[in-house]
Every structure is written in C-alpha cells, then in structure tokens.
C-alpha cells in the first residue's frame, strides 16, 4: 500500500469522524467512545499497514465446544 493511499485513508476517516461529530446529535459520552474506538482501530490498521504488528493475521478465535 502506498504512502499516498494511507494518507488518503487517514484524511477520509478524519473527515467522516468530523462530519459525524458536527452534524449528528449524540450524548458527549457516546461521542467520546466513538472517537476512541475509531482512533484505536485506525492506529491498529496503521501498525498493520506498516508491518509493525501481525496481530490481525495471527488472531484466531477457537470454537466453543
């Protein structure tokens, strides 16, 4: 993935989050949780995109017997 594509994804996610925060009425607590979840997911995606972690490929969920 090119650096330009990564920057475009970050800008798009930021713009979408700004639009949601600006125009969708919601409780401040829900807004903080939404911002935190989006930020954490974006950081994990960036770490995976740069190859710093392999958690996303190695994560396995075992079936419950």
State pLDDT tens for residues 7-56. 999 999 999 999 999 999 999 999 999 999 999 999 988 988 888 887 65
Sign, CA dihedral 56-59-64-65, equals positive
**Residue 22 CA to chain centroid, in angstroms?**
19
Give the start-to-end residue ranges of the domains of the chain.
3-58
The residue behind tokens 């700004």 is: 18
13: Cβ contacts below 8 Å, ≥ 6 apart: 38, 42
Task: Specify the length of the chain in residues.
Answer: 65
pLDDT of residue 26: 94
pLDDT of residue 60: 73
Q: Considering the entire predicted model, what is its pTM?
A: 0.76
């Amino acid at each position: 993935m090119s650096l330009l594509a990564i920057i475009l994804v970050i800008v798009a996610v930021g713009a979408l989050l700004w639009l949601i925060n600006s125009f969708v009425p919601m409780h401040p607590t829900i807004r903080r949780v939404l911002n935190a979840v989006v930020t954490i997911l974006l950081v994990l995606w960036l770490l995976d995109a740069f190859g710093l972690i392999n958690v996303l490929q190695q994560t396995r969920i075992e079936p419950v017997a």
